[in-house]
Amino acid sequence: MTTQGTTGGERRARARTADVLVVDDEQDIRELIELSLMRMGLGVDAAGSVGEARALLAERKYRLCLTDMRLPDGEGLEVVRHIATHCADTPVAVITAHGSMDNAVAVLKAGAFDYLSKPVTLEQLRALVKSALDVQVREEQPRTGQKLIGESPTMVQVKGLIDRLARSQAPVYISGESGSGKERAARMIHELGPRAQQSFVAVNCGAIPENLMESEFFGYRKGAFTGAESDREGFFQAAHGGTLFLDEVADLPLAMQVKLLRVIQERRVRRVGDTQEQPVDVRIISATHQNLRERVEQGRFRQDLFYRLNVIELRMPSLRERQEDIPLLAQAILLRLAGDGGPTPPRLTEAALRALSNYAFPGNVRELENILERAMALSVGAEIDAGDLMLDPSHEDDVALTGVDLNGEGGGLQQYLDRVEKQAILDALGKTHGNRTAAARLLGVTFRSLRYRMERLDMKGE
């Protein structure tokens, strides 16, 4: 269906050249969007219902779909799900009414590229369309420079999810242990997406003094407080058009969580000392090594902010969960440490690789980098042997528990049993994304029993 008033010849010509499908039951809105898109050189088809949209999607492939949330025969969510199932390469954005942020979260989870709140400005519409079409142009080009190394099934799955997340504008929450590569994953999502040419601003929320948080995040006007000698932009203004990465977001104090929630919902910030708000366009990616759901249950993190940040979750696996990637990671790290044009890096012996594979890596990839950098600095030959790694004995053999020799260096029956128990707890926590209540249920013990066992095994920080 096209906008009323067009001739049959015009409709047939448009059907051959349309780039965008606009789904809205209000004719004046359809015409306004169509006119704006035509000025951008884009052809448009229009539908007034879910049924008409499905019929047009069955006839041709579109580069973008814009749909209203409320339609006469259903909701825009149905269009989003239909496209996700039958036209997965077509990005779709949803236009929502004021006060329907929960619906916006629902459509983003269903696969929508982005959403706009009514009333829609032409500037917002053009920026969204440009972002969507930039994604498709970039996807047609070969992708290089991926920074997450690993070919294990777990990492293949993670990188595939990152590819899909890069096409969306939905907020992403990255969970995982310290040193597992959360910031690298966030940078990949940014660099593979439509905002790649704009700023990526990484903020460690735990490193900012509480009394400076508001001015650091939102900026300030000259004279707003003692020492404010000139206007200054905050993190949100610096990331305008790009991505704001909130690392260790669990460390934000509750007062700042309230202000952050408002900015995310309204997409506007007010500098300290200013009377006017400024619009900001940023994609939010957040991360923490802590269990954010537990902090919500404890009342230490706002539930409404958690749901705004955790539209889509990406869990980064620990190095223990992808042992087969260790040789590849080690080789890449040694090459990087040697530098371009530098000497040939030393080779890891079979014994060294075996020792690394049997090590628990509580610090994950970051710890592997530190171990190899130290070994490379101290090595005098062309090889790095197991002894050169100087691994922490308390974490050796934690992974290869089934191969422990009780008559050899295993440390006796109790130490062996402790290692087995600790690994079982780590595996359960990994499967439940750190949720101790769910892990206890998985292990068949009470939460109190699990807590006692973790304290006895010195696992308080896990």
CATH of the domain at 368: 1.10.8.60
pLDDT classification of 431: cutoffs 50, 70, 90 = confident
Domain boundary among 315, 347, 376: 315
Per-residue pLDDT at 437: 83
What's the order of all strands across the beta sheet hosting 283-288? Answer: 200-204, 243-247, 283-288, 172-175, 312-315
**Same domain as 300, residue 228:** yes
Beta strands, E only, 28-107: 43-47, 64-68, 70-71, 74-75, 92-96
Whether 3 is covered by a domain: the verdict is: no
Chain segment 48-106, per-residue pLDDT in tens: 999 999 999 998 889 899 999 889 999 889 999 999 888 888 889 888 765 556 676 77
Is the predicted pLDDT of residue 395 greater than 80, yes or no? Answer: no
pLDDT classification of 46: cutoffs 50, 70, 90 = very high
pLDDT classification of 416: cutoffs 50, 70, 90 = low
Domain boundary among 355, 374, 399: 399
Per-residue pLDDT at 425: 86
**Same domain as 366, residue 291:** no
Mean per-residue pLDDT of the chain = 82
**Same domain as 354, residue 297:** no
Whether 1 is covered by a domain: the verdict is: no
Lowest-confidence range among 98-112, 211-225, 243-257, 393-407? 393-407
Whether 145 is covered by a domain: the verdict is: no
Whether 148 is covered by a domain: the verdict is: no
Q: Which residues pair with 92 in a beta bridge?
A: 65
Is the predicted pLDDT of residue 171 greater than 60, yes or no? Answer: yes
pLDDT classification of 228: cutoffs 50, 70, 90 = confident
Per-residue pLDDT at 187: 94
Whether 94 is covered by a domain: the verdict is: yes
**Same domain as 223, residue 235:** yes
Lowest-confidence range among 137-141, 284-288, 324-328? 137-141
Q: How much is the pTM?
A: 0.64
Whether 146 is covered by a domain: the verdict is: no
**Same domain as 440, residue 333:** no
Per-residue CA distances from 451 to 75, 163, 299, 435 (Å): 46, 38, 20, 12
Helix (H) or strand (E) holding 305: helix 303-309
- The stretch 21-46 carries a mean pLDDT of 87
Residues 56, 59: Cα–Cα separation, whole Å: 5
**Residues of the chain with pLDDT > 90: what percent?**
37
Give phi and psi for 110, each to the nearest 5.
Answer: -75, -10
Chain segment 266-318, per-residue pLDDT in tens: 999 999 888 889 999 999 999 999 999 999 999 999 999 999 999 999 999 99
**Same domain as 182, residue 259:** yes
Kindly state the tokens that stand for 296.
């919500």
Per-residue pLDDT at 263: 94
Could you tell me the end-to-end alpha-carbon distance of the chain, in angstroms, rounded to an integer? 57
Whether 67 is covered by a domain: the verdict is: yes
Residues 119, 144: Cα–Cα separation, whole Å: 39
**Same domain as 110, residue 26:** yes
CB atoms within 10 A of CB 203: 21
**Same domain as 297, residue 226:** yes
CA 54, 55, 60, 62 torsion-angle sign: negative
Domain boundary among 315, 333, 355: 315
**Same domain as 310, residue 176:** yes
**Same domain as 158, residue 275:** yes
Residues 21, 2: Cα–Cα separation, whole Å: 9
Chain segment 345-378, per-residue pLDDT in tens: 889 999 999 999 889 898 899 999 999 999 888 8
Per-residue pLDDT at 250: 94
**Same domain as 208, residue 82:** no
Is the predicted pLDDT of residue 12 greater than 60, yes or no? Answer: no
Residue 74: give its domain's CATH number: 3.40.50.2300
* Domain enclosing residue 304, as ranges: 153-315
β-pairing, 172-175 with 312-315? Answer: parallel
Residue 307: give its domain's CATH number: 3.40.50.300
Looking at 314-434, list the stretches that DSSP marks H as alpha helix, in order from N- to C-terminal side: 326-338, 350-357, 364-378, 386-389, 413-431
- The stretch 318-344 carries a mean pLDDT of 85
Per-residue pLDDT at 142: 40
Whether 218 is covered by a domain: the verdict is: yes
Residue 434: give its domain's CATH number: 1.10.10
Per-residue pLDDT at 399: 52
**Same domain as 32, residue 126:** yes
- The stretch 190-214 carries a mean pLDDT of 90
Tally of domains in the chain? 4
Is the predicted pLDDT of residue 401 greater than 90, yes or no? Answer: no
